[in-house]
Chain A
Amino acid sequence: MVELELTVNGKACMLKIEPGERLIDVLRQRLGLTGTKEGCGEGECGACTVIMDGRTINSCVVLAIQAHGRDITTIEGVGNRIRPHPVQRAFVEEGAVQCGYCTPGMVLAAKALLDKNPDPSPQEIGAAMSGNLCRCTGYDKILRAVQRAAREVTGT
C-alpha cells in the first residue's frame, strides 16, 4: 500500500491505495465520485475524462498514484442541479444529452477548453472535444452547446 495525497474538487484527500489502482477506480470506488464513467476502459472514448492540473486526462489509463500531489476536478466539482456550470446549462438547453453516459467527460473537456480559451473557434472546439465519443447525439448539438457556453462565459 502507498499513501496518496491529492486535491479532488478543492478538497484535500489522503488515502492508502495499491500502486496498481487506476485513478478512475479510486475516484469511483474509494471516493464515491461515480459521476466519472467508464466506457471503453482503454483510453479511447473519453467517458472517464477528468481534469488534472488544468489538463484533461483519461482516468482509465492513469494510475491513481500518478495524481499524487495534484489537483483533480471531476464532474461533481463542476456544478450541480442547483448551480450548474454554464457548460452544463448549455448542454441541457441545446439538447446535447441523450443517454448521458458521455456527458460528464464532454462537460469536463469543454470546461478545460473554456478555462484556457474562453472564445474558441468552431475548429478549436472540435479539436478539444475530439477525444470524447458519443454514441447518441451525432455531436452537432454538443458542439453547439459548447459554443453557447462560450458566448455565455464571455458575455457576448
Chain B
Amino acid sequence: MEFFQPQNLTEAVERSGLDTCFLAGGTDLVLQLREGKAKPQVLVDLSRVTELKYLTAAGGCLEIGSMLTFAELGGSELARAKANALWLACQSMGSPQIRNQATLGGNLANCSPAADGLPPLLALGALVRLVSRRGEETVPLAELLSRRPLLEVGTLIRGFRIPDQGWKSGFAKLGRRRALAIARLSVALAVEREGNQAKRVRVALGAVGERPFLSEALAEMLQGREMNEAWLEDAAAAAQQVVASALGSRASAPYKRVAVSGVMREAWASLAGGEGTACG
C-alpha cells in the first residue's frame, strides 16, 4: 500500500480513483484495513488539505468542513448556537479519544446505521458538498442517503451546509459502546416554532434500519400543532409505529420500539434554549 498526502483539494481529487481510499481520522478505516475489509493500493490522506477544515456562519448558513473532528464541533459555541442537535451528538459520540480523531466527513462516508452525526444533519436539513473530477455537486443529505452506493468512486465529501432557519433542534441517543450495538438508537428533532405552534418539524432516526432516515410520517403528524403534552405523547407513540415498521421482525425490534418513546422525549427536552420545558 502506498501513501499519498495531497496538499490541496485539487491534488486529493486528482489522485483518487478505483484503487484509492481517503484517510480522515482513521477511526473506522484503520480497523477495516486490519480486517482486510478495505484493501486500497493508495491511501490518500486528507489531513493536510486545509480547504476541508472550516467552520463558519456565512450567507445565512452554517458551513462545516468535512475534516472537522467531533471534538472540534463539540467545543464550538457557533455550532451550539446554530446546530444544537449536531453539537449534542458531538458530546456523546464515542469517547474523548475517538472524538479527538473522528471527523464528520468520515462519519457520513462510512455511513453506519448508528452514525451519530447523520440524524442531526438530517433534522437540520443539511446539504452535502461533494467534489470529484467531474466537478462539484451540492445535494440534500436526505437525497444522498438514498443513493447506492452512497458515493461514486473518487468522490470526496467537502463539507456540510446547514441553512440557518432559526429552528430549534435537539438530539438524544441510547447505547454508547459498540459492545452494546444492538441497544443503539438515536432521535434528532428540529422544530420551527411560532409561539407555541410547531410550524414545521423534521424528525430523523438512527440505528433503526440500514441508514439513518427522516420520517415523513412523524413530521406530518407533528407540524401545524400546538406543542403541549398531547403533542409529545403523540410523538412518542407515533415514533413506536415508525420503528416497528422500519425494523419489522428484527431481533432488536421489540426493545427499540419501546425505547424510542423515551429517546424521543429526551430529544424534545434537549431542544435548544430550554424550549423543551414547555411540556414539563
Contact of A61 among B27, B47, B177 (CB under 8 A): B27
Q: Report B177 CB to chain A, min CB distance, Å.
A: 6
| Total number of residue pairs linking A and B with CB closer than 8 Å | 71
Give the residue name and chain of the B residue nearest to A105 (CB).
B97
Q: Which residues of A contact B34 (CB under 8 A)?
A: 22
Contacts of B26 in A (CB 8 A): 61-63, 66
Q: Which residues of the other chain, B, contact A57 by a CB distance below 8 angstroms?
A: 97, 100-101
Known contacts A55-B71, A56-B97, A57-B101; A19 and B30 CB within 8 A of each other: no
A147 contacts partner chain B, Cβ-Cβ < 8 Å: no
Mark contacts of B66-104 with chain A using CB atoms, 8 A cut-off: 1 yes-contact digit, 0 otherwise.
000001000000000000000000000011111011000
Asked whether B54 is an interface residue with its Cβ less than 8 Å from the other chain, the reply is: no
Residues A20 and B1 in contact, CB atoms below 8 Å apart:
yes
Decide yes or no whether A42 CB sits under 8 A from chain B.
yes
Q: Is B164 an interface residue (CB 8 A)?
A: no
Interface string of B44-72 (1 = CB under 8 A from A): 01010000000000000000000000010
Query: For B71, what are the chain A residues with a Cβ–Cβ distance below 8 Å?
Result: 55
Question: Can you add 10 more A-B contacts, CB < 8 Å, to A44-B179, A61-B31?
Answer: A2-B3, A22-B34, A43-B98, A44-B95, A62-B101, A66-B26, A109-B97, A130-B95, A130-B96, A132-B95
Closest B residue to A60 by beta carbon equals B30
B-side interface residues toward A, CB under 8 Å? 1-3, 5, 23, 25-27, 30-31, 33-34, 43, 45, 47, 71, 94-98, 100-101, 177-179
Q: Give the B-binding residues of A (Cβ under 8 A).
A: 2, 18-20, 22, 42-44, 46, 49, 52, 55-58, 60-63, 65-66, 68, 109, 127-128, 130-132
Q: How far is the CA of A63 from the CA of B26 in the complex (A)?
A: 7
Neighbouring A residues of B177 by C-beta, 8 Å = 44
- Min CB distance, B88 to chain A, in Å? 14
Give Cα A117–Cα B34 distance, bound, in whole angstroms.
Answer: 36
Specify which chain B residues have a CB less than 8 angstroms from the CB of A46 in the assembled complex. 95, 97
Q: Which residues of A contact B178 (CB under 8 A)?
A: 42, 44
The one of B2, B31, B45, B47 in contact with A43, judged by C-beta atoms closer than 8 angstroms, is: B31
Q: Is the CB of B31 within 8 A of A42?
A: yes
Contact B1 A19 (CB under 8 A): yes
Which residues of A lie under 8 Å from residue B31 when comparing CB positions?
42-43, 61
By the criterion CB–CB under 8 Å, are A131 and B3 in contact? Answer: no
Contact A20 B97 (CB under 8 A): no
CB B183 to nearest CB in A, in angstroms, measures 15
Taken together as a complex, chains A and B put the C-alpha atoms of A122 and B31 apart, in Å, by 33
Given contacts A66-B23, A66-B45, A66-B47, contact A43 B1 (CB under 8 A): no
